[in-house]
Amino acid sequence: MWLTSSTLWLLLLATQCLAKSSSSQESFSAKNEAEVVFEKNTNSELLWAPYRSNCYFGIRPRYVDATPFIFGLMWFDTTQFDSMTKLRHFVSDEDNLERFTWEVYDPRVGGKENIIDPENNLNLTIYFAKTHDDQNWVVRVSGKPLDPSLNTTTSVIVYMNQNVGGDLKGPSRLVYMDNDADENTFTFTGVSEELGKYEVLVNDNYGTYYHNETLGSVEAVPGCDASRSAHVGLTIPDHEVWRARDIFQSLLTDSIKDVVTQLGENIESGLVPSILTLRNIHNFEEGNFHYIQKTFDLHEEKGFEFDVVYNNLESEQTIESGKEATKLINDAINEVNVRFDNHFDIENLGSDDKREFAIEVFSNLLGGIGYFHGTQVIDRETILDEDQFESIKFEHYKEEGPYSLFTSVPSRGFFPRGFYWDEGFHLLQIMEYDYDLAFQIAVSWFRLIDEDGWVAREVILGPEARSKVPAEFTIQSPQVANPPTLLLALSEMLTKLIENSDTLGTPHAAIDSDVEDGISAALGTNFEYIIKYSKVIYPKLQQHFQWFMDTQRGQLEEYMEDMEDDVTFSQVHQDYVFKWLGRTVTHCLPSGLDDYPRAQPPDVAELNVDTLAWVSMMSRSMKNIAHILELEADEAKYAEIEKKTVENMDLLHWSEKAHAYCDVTLDDEGDEEMMLVCHEGYISLLPFALKMMPSDSPRLKDVLKLMSDPEKLFSAYGLRSLSKQDPYFGAGENYWRGKVWLNINYLCLDAIKHYFPEVIEGSQQSSQLGDREASKIAQKLYSQLRENLVNNVYNNWKDTNYVYENYDPITGRGTGSVQFTGWTSLIVNILRRQAL
């Protein structure tokens, strides 16, 4: 991977968070001063951020679970009665926004998010910045009309809640303080058992509230007046706060009905913005939940701007003025720009557009980082067998937890939750920029490994996360795996660690430079320190590895009688064959390559080459960890597993006819003989992409030819997921049946560099294969593939403002979820490497 050696120990070091369990606590009973300072700084720096990934903008604190302070924004145009259908809150592709993007962002300091909403005639910019002690923050909301001549209004709703936790009579509260001086300024005082005492100030910087010169007053009925800010306080149960949009719409609908009752249906059109202003029609007693609605006139191009300031009253660095807020915002934006340029030399390409593209894509990956807390729906009883092939029904489920997860998400609009196989790719990107942040995320995932070694393929915690998931996908099963990409990232880091073990005693310059950037420095590295933290994570990973082996193990018994005289088959290591448990006739969701064609009809005896490749990668990772911990017996054990799985890939899954790796199944139409099922595409490449092929394997050349063939996988936009010659190409659901995906393309590029280091200009190393023709193919493929990927993702962004889940192999057009800044953000790593 394109990782620096200083990332290696950091992920291991992060396992300090596992010390929350009693067994782990013993390992950390003797923390030195540097460790304590590091933990304190990290928890402080990452306490506050827009961690509600599914909202266009929503804040909650990290690891504050009982009594967090929750904040969110909504907006809509109030000039028409049907405007509520355009109320924005949760990110949705159906909102048809022209743009929603973090232009610059770092969860440690803040950033700038821009949203262009044509249906609401609004160009909205949201700034977020924190004080240097990380305890206080400001949100600045700035809006302008896209077209001032349209005579629209924008109603922005701020909502906030102080959760009370389990004790409804506890001290946690959020109280509105009357302000007679300015009806549009609001002050709240709050107390959280976990956060302490704080104050929230909502204050206008500029803007004209709604008015209508043809009317003497725009107050429709008492309390319905868009010419001033509206406030409604009430009590909402903690677990229902995420429904802020639904509750707002319900209350506003009741208010509208009451207005119609009083005024009749022939209402002056100039009163509509006021009628769409929230009021306390039900006379709720003020509680911990508060709506503030501000309706601005968008006749003038200048628009409006207001600040929301949160100050912890025990902090010495409170935000006391708009000027201080402005300085914090400017400093945050400048700091993120400097940090990005220090880590990614995009500007060396001589293109400002490419740099803007890169920092936006990367900022949106960081902007998708969220903190989730709640229960998970799990079925531990349903057994998967041959009946699963028609359909899988998990009917014996229940909620477990609560659990917590700190993670980035693939896409805020369509996938705002934790995905196990996506997260490893996210980490490969984040590690390049902020090692500490990456290991915090990784450790949060490691914490979820249960006593059996299982972690869910999708982590969907609490009702807010579940609201974005189709019911059939919410239930998780301990029998169903996913590609273990977290161990992929760890494996690459540990490989680098072994290669650079002689430098472990000295601090890394990259770490020291973070001090100059205003970001807390990571702990200095030494071999003993790495061992200390590796010992904490090691048992968890052992359990996870064994769980994967046990649940996804295949069987050779069905082939024995037919293949007993086959010399090659007799060399197969029978205990090291694997399949994806949980596939159906049409889908193999556990593989991550959902509708990628597999053997038809499915059979319990099916063996999948990609499962085997992932197990092989896991064994290599475990071998490297055992080596660092000087656990010689374990190192030898995992080395033996790695050796046998690598050998099985060639013995069992290589097709001499197709010159590719293929799945294995029984030929039901014949005499139930073993047959190779070859659908050339990503599964054919995974042994290569995961670097599990021997470095001198003559089959490397065949893999290169497959990737380079324009009639099969190579395209002007990247490697197709399925060969253009395959009968399933572009058929059916057409998800992994030809589309270009950045994650596998990234792995393939890196593998080319691994096997053929001469592809990098100035490299002093060359391929162990010693095949000049293969080397030439590799060099041409590496250069063209990288250029094609960069140009296509960049051109789509230039045309549409977005990056996508995948790309059409014929036209290059982005398809799938928009603003998919999960693994598609790996394009920044690829783009950066062009400059080297």
Measured from the Cβ of residue 430, the count of other Cβ atoms closer than 10 Å reads: 26
Tokens (6 digits) for 805: 């889940």
469 exposed, middle or buried (CB, 10 Å; 0-12, 13-18, 19+)?
middle
Q: Do the beta carbons of residue 76 and residue 87 sit within 8 Å? A: yes
Q: Where are the alpha helices (DSSP H) in 585-697?
A: 609-628, 632-653, 682-689
Rounded to whole angstroms, what are the CA distances from 73 to 58, 70, 269, 370, 478?
7, 11, 27, 16, 37
Q: Do the beta carbons of residue 43 and residue 16 sit within 8 Å? A: no
Tokens (6 digits) for 403: 């659990």
Separation between Cα atoms, residue 810 and residue 390, nearest integer Å? 32
DSSP string, 331-369: HHHHHHHHHHHHH--GGGGS-HHHHHHHHHHHHHHHHT-
Residue 365, phi then psi, degrees to nearest 5: -65, -50
Rounded to whole angstroms, what are the CA distances from 775 to 195, 637, 755, 786, 828?
59, 34, 9, 17, 26
Half-sphere exposure of 535 (CA within 13 A, CB side): 14
Q: Do the beta carbons of residue 814 and residue 796 sit within 8 Å? A: yes
Separation between Cα atoms, residue 446 and residue 599, nearest integer Å? 34
CA dihedral 814, 819, 821, 822 (to 10 degrees): -80
Tokens (6 digits) for 698: 């003559």
Residue 137, phi then psi, degrees to nearest 5: -150, 160
Enumerate the active-site residues.
594, 805
- CA neighbor of 468 nearest in space, from 423, 421, 424, 418: 418
Q: Do the beta carbons of residue 141 and residue 126 sit within 8 Å? A: yes
Total residues found in the chain within this entry: 836
Strand 173-177 versus strand 304-312 pairing type: unpaired
Give the torsion sign (CA, 599, 605, 611, 616).
negative
The single-letter DSSP state of residue 721 is S
Separation between Cα atoms, residue 422 and residue 365, nearest integer Å? 12
